[in-house]
Amino acid sequence: MEPSDTPKPIAVLGSPIEIGASQRGTLMGPAALRTAGLVTLLHGLGFDVKDHGDLRVDAVAELDDAPPDNARHYREIQRWIRTLSARAYELARSGVIPIFLGGDHSLSMGSVNGIARHCREAGRELFVLWLDAHTDYNTPATTITGNMHGMSAAFLCGEPGLDGLLGEEPRASISPDQLEVFGARSIDKLEKDLLRERRVSVADMRQIDEFGVGVLMRRVIDKVQARGGVLHVSFDVDFLDPGLAPGVGTTVPGGATYREAHLVMELLHDSGLVQSLDIVELNPFLDERGRTARTAVELIGSLFGQQITDRPTPTNAIGR
C-alpha cells in the first residue's frame, strides 16, 4: 500500500459523564484535555481535526424499562450511552478517526458499541485494547459498588444484566476473545472468576514486569493483524502510575511508567490498526496543575506519530 500524503481526518467529541464513577469531577475531563493542547497537537502533526464540542443529553427522553438492581444512576447513564452510541456510529461511517473525551469509563459502552456496529456492517472484526488498572468486567450480579464504569467491558462483551441499556439502538457486542486488557492490577474476586470463565486476555502488571511492554503489545498487534481486524483503544488514565498521573479517582499503585506508556502508543501508531479512541477517567479536580492532562496529551501525540527522533513513518501507520 502506498503511503497517503493526506492523513485520515480526526473527529473529537467530548462526553462529560461522571455519574458512572463514585467520585465526581470527570465531567471536566474534556475541557482539561482541550486546554492541555490536544487539538493543537493533532493539527501540528498534520491532521485535519474537527472538534464537535461536548455531547448533551438534556433533551433525550427516558425509557421505561425496569432498571436493574446494583446499577447506580442507570437511567441517566442510559441516556448518555444511547446518544453516544448513535454519534459514534455516525462518525465511524463518515470515515474519520473518532476520539471520545471523557468522562468516566461508562462512556465506552456507547462509543465502542457504535464503532462495533459500523465495523460489523463493514465486515471488519473490531478488537478493543483496554488500557486500565481495572478490567471493568463486573455485571450487576457481581459488582461490589454498583458503579457502572466498572461494568463497561463486560457490557461490550455481551454479558447479561444491562440488556435494556441501549433501548432501540442496536447492540453490537464483541466476543470476549476480541477484548485485550493491558495493565490491570486491581480485579474483584467475582470479576476475576468471570474473566477466567470467558478466557479474556489480561496482561496484568506482573506480566508486563516479567515480559516487557514490547513483547506483550506485539502479541496483541499480531493477533489483530492475523485476523484482519481493526483496533479501538480505550485509554483510562489510571493505566499510568499515580506518581505520573494523579488526576484520577481510582488510583492504584504500580502502574505503567512514562516510557512504558509511550512505547505502547508508539507501537500502536506503527501498527496502523487504531481507528478510534477513548480517553477516560481524567479528573482535573484531583490533578496537580494539569499534570495528568498534559501527560495524556503527550501520549496521544505518540499514538498519532509524534517522535523523539526522526525515523521513517511506516506506510500503515495510524491515519495514513
Q: Enumerate the active-site residues.
A: 105, 132, 134, 136, 149, 236, 238, 281
Q: DSSP class of residue 170?
A: P
DSSP calls for 2-13: PPPSSPPPEEEE
Asked if 304 and 265 count as a contact pair (C-beta separation under 8 A), the reply is no
Alpha helices of 227-316 — where are they, by DSSP H? 258-271, 291-303
Instruction: Count Cα neighbours of 192 within 13 Å in the Cβ-side half-sphere.
Output: 7
* Spatial contact of 177 and 127, defined as CB atoms under 8 Å apart: no
126-131 β-sheet, strand order: 49-54, 10-15, 97-102, 274-280, 230-236, 126-131, 179-184, 201-204
Residues 82 and 55: beta-carbon distance below 8 Å: no
239 DSSP assignment: G
On the 0-12 / 13-18 / 19+ scale of CB atoms within 10 A, 283 is: buried
DSSP letters spanning 38-57: HHHHHHHTT--EEEEEE---
Dihedral of the alpha carbons of 136, 140, 141, 147, in degrees to the nearest 10: 60
- CB within 8 Å of 199: residues ≥ 6 apart: 176, 177
